[in-house]
Amino acid sequence: MGTQATRIPAVTTGRRQRGFTLVELLVVIAIIGILIGLLLPAVQAAREAARRTQCSNNLKQLGIALHNYHDVYKTFPFAWMLYVPGGDLSQLNVQCWGTRVLPYVEQKPLYDRYDSRFPAIDQFAMLPPVKQNLAVIQTQLEVYLCPSSPSSQEKKYQSDLNPAGWPLTWEAAPSDYCVSTGVRGDFARLAYARYPGGPGGSREGVLQFNGNDPYRPSRVDRDLSNIASIRDGTSNTMMIGERVGGGQIYLRGGQPAPPGMPWDALRKANGGGWGDFLNGEHWYSGSFQDGMPGPDGGPCAINCTNRRGAGFFAFHPGGAQFLMADASVRFITETVDAFVLAAMTTRKKGETFQMP
């Protein structure tokens, strides 16, 4: 007799198991995409807030450095210096404020390598001190760079004054901060249109030029400034503002200026480096709202262009940061009243205004 196999009935749960349908997967993917779209601006805003804080800390450190310099020398450093006796370029010496404060931004070894008796100019590079000076100003320093700025990715840039009639070239590491030596041109006329006396009188900033006037070589200017000379008040007067450095000129919205003249020449004389002496020459006159230059400037001086002599420019949404003469840092919106910005620039014009 054969053995009959025992059959075990299958156990079922009474429910059919199934996977996601294509429609359900598409819905889930769409929801994830929406969530990412909602979160991304918040993440970007948080990152920009961190970058802006670091940028503010850099300006604060520069403010402390300038005050420590003042404690030692009883004056702030010059904005820039030009020594060219009788117009003889063979005896040229040019310097700027950025090299003067190196010991006070924890760069004493770099400062010790720099010989201020010689310029940092290619045409004198056969002299060992000049060659060493050039190497110093080509050193990228974080304290001079705003993390929000594209220049933080740029190691160095080329300057060339030949188009302006000065046979001088050099390379320098970028700086996103520059002094404000004064306010002039159309921006000053617009700012002081309703001010008693108009734009007349003193419109100079805190840090000033020192040496031979480049257009009048026989004239010597020595206008160093100390705290006592800031008669408008240190908390009301700026010393340094953000102006994106490096070898690029930007227009409204962060768009690079088009290639060709005059932009090619302007890029190479924009004073966009911490050791670039042109960084100290910044009497600004404004620009049109799109960043293009007017006949003698224009009504916009914040975030329209970083062109030297036009105003201030940062990649922060809505405005730029400024170091005041009391070493505090303020964020000023790009819509600030022209009179207020001009009054913040001058050190002894006597304006009365409400600080934004």
Residue keyed to tokens 């450093």: 77
Nearest to 69 by CA among 119, 108, 113, 110: 108
Q: Is residue 306 one of the residues assigned to a domain?
A: yes
Among 26-40, 131-145, 335-349, the minimum mean pLDDT is found in 26-40
Q: Is a pLDDT exceeding 70 seen at residue 91?
A: yes
Token pair recorded at residue 303: 């975030």
pLDDT band at 356 (very low <50, low <70, confident <90, very high): confident
Residue 299 belongs to some domain of the structure:
yes
pLDDT in tens, 186-227: 999 999 999 988 898 889 999 998 876 555 555 556 667 899
Do strands 319-324 and 238-242 pair parallel, antiparallel, or not at all (unpaired)? antiparallel
DSSP 196-222: TTTT-S--B-SS-EEEEETTEEEEEEE
pLDDT at 48: 74
- Cα 47 to Cα 49: distance, rounded to the nearest angstrom: 5
Domain assignment present for residue 135? The answer is yes
**Residue 356 falls inside a structural domain:** no
**Distances 264 to 120, 249, 260 between C-alpha atoms, Å:** 22, 9, 6
- At 76, is the pLDDT very low, low, confident or very high (cuts 50, 70, 90)? very high
Residue 23 has pLDDT above 80, yes or no: no
Torsion of CA 348, 190, 306, 208, to 10 degrees: -20
Quick check: is 41 in a domain? Answer: no
Residue 323 pLDDT level (bands cut at 50, 70, 90): very high
User: What per-residue confidence (pLDDT) applies to 7?
Assistant: 54
Question: Averaged over 91-96, what is the pLDDT?
Answer: 88
Q: According to the model, what pLDDT value does residue 34 have?
A: 80
Average pLDDT over the chain, rounded to an integer:
87
Q: 216-221, long-range: CB within 8 Å, 24+ apart, which pairs?
A: 217/84, 217/85, 217/86, 217/87, 218/86
| Residue 157 backbone dihedrals phi, psi, to 5 degrees | -140, 165
pTM, to two decimals: 0.84
**Averaged over 280-301, what is the pLDDT?**
95
List the domain range (segments joined by +) for residue 289: 47-345
pLDDT: is 93 or 27 the higher one?
A: 93
Strands 283-284 and 182-183: parallel
Q: Is residue 188 part of a domain?
A: yes
Other residues' Cβ atoms within 10 Å of the Cβ of residue 195: 17
Burial of 17 (0-12, 13-18, 19+ CB in 10 A): exposed
Average pLDDT of span 114-123: 93
Instruction: Inform me whether the pLDDT recorded for 245 exceeds 70.
Output: yes
Mean pLDDT in residue range 104-124: 94
Q: What domain count does the chain have?
A: 1
Report yes or no on 300 lying in a domain: yes
- pLDDT of 218 reads 55
Pull the structure tokens for residue 246.
């490096």
Task: Grade residue 60 by pLDDT with cuts at 50, 70 and 90.
Answer: very high
Is residue 16 domain-resident? no
DSSP 84-142: -GGG-GGG-EEEEHHHHTGGGGT-HHHHHT--TTS---GGGTTSHHHHHHHHHHTS--G
The C-alpha atoms of residue 342 and residue 350 are separated, in whole angstroms, by 11
For tokens 């310097």, name the residue: 95
Q: Which residues contact 110 (CB under 8 A, 6 or more apart)?
A: 102, 136, 139
pLDDT value for 203: 93
